Amino acid sequence: MAMAIYVDPPLWPAHGTVFSHLVSDTSLEELHEFAASAGVPERAFDGDHYDVPVRRYDDLVAAGAIPVEARILVRKLIASGLRIPARERSKALTVPLMERWNSTYPGHEELGLELLERWGEDGRKYHNRTHLMAVLEALDVLTEPEKPALTVTLAAWFHDAVYEGVAGQDEERSALLAEERLTAAGLAPHEVAEVVRLVRLTATHSPKTGDYAGALLCDADLSVLGGDQQSYARYLAAVREDYASVSDDEFAKGRAAVVRRLLRLDPLFHGERAKALWLAAARKNLAGELA
C-alpha cells in the first residue's frame, strides 16, 4: 500500500505563531520516520499528528509532505484509523490547564481537578476543555502585557463548569457552584461575589458600560465567533455535536435564534482590542451562517 504524509495549511494559532498539522494516512511509524528525517522535534508530536510552525511548512512540502485543506487532512486521518477522538484529545489538555490553574490559584489543586473533570465530561463537544483553554488564552491576548484579574480568570474556569445544554440554567448553576466552592476555599467574600456576577453575565454577554471585567470575560467567551473560516467551521461542527440528540430541524431553528440574538448584540464585542481582533470576522461568520 502506498504511504503518504499530509500537511494542512498553517491555520492553528499558538505561542505567537500559526501551526500546521502533519499526519500519515497509514501508520504512526511512518509519520515518526518522516518527522525525524525532516528535523521535526519529538516534543511536537500530539497523539496522532505533529504540530509544525508556519516557518517549516515549505520545507516539509519540499521533503515530500502532500499539502491538503484542513478538512481533507482530518478525513484522511479518520479513514486511517489513527484519529484520536475529541474526548481523548481533551484529556491532552489536562497538564497545561492544571499548570494554569496552579499558577492562578495556588494551593487549591483539588478544586482545579474537580473543574477539569467537569470540563472533560463525556458528551461535551464544544463546551469542553478546548473551549476553556481558548477562553483563557483569549483573556491573555486581551490583557497583554498585564495579566487578567484573578476574579476574571476564576470566572472563566467556572463559567460552563455545569453544562446540561440548558441556556440560562447552566450559567446559574455554574455561578452557584462558584459561590459554594470559592467560599469553601477561603476566597474573600467580595471576590466570590464578583466571580459569581461574572459567571451569570455569560448568559447574556451584555455587560453594562464601564464594566471592564465583564466586557473582558464576555469578549473572551465569544472570541470563537471571530475565527477564520476553518476555525468557525470547526466551532459549528462541535456545537452541532453538543446537541446531537436534537433533530436537524429543531437544531436549525434553535441555532438561527442564537445567531440572530448574537447579531443583535450591539456591541457584540466591548473592548477596543477585541473589536479590532474579532468583530469584522464575527459579523461575516454569523451573517454567512444565517444565510
Model pLDDT for residues 135-180, shown as the tens digit of each residue: 999 999 999 989 999 999 999 999 999 998 888 899 999 999 999 9
- CB of 34 within 8 A of CB of 50? no
Provide the pLDDT for residue 178.
98
- CB of 123 within 8 A of CB of 86? no
Provide the pLDDT for residue 1.
45
Instruction: Quickly name the fold that domain 91-290 has.
Output: Catalytic domain of cyclic nucleotide phosphodiesterase 4b2b (1.10.1300)
| Concatenated DSSP letters of 191-225 | HHHHHHHHHHHTTTT-PPTT-HHHHHHHHHHTGGG
Domain ranges in the chain? 5-83, 91-290
| Least confident residue range of 45-49, 82-86, 182-186, 230-234 | 82-86
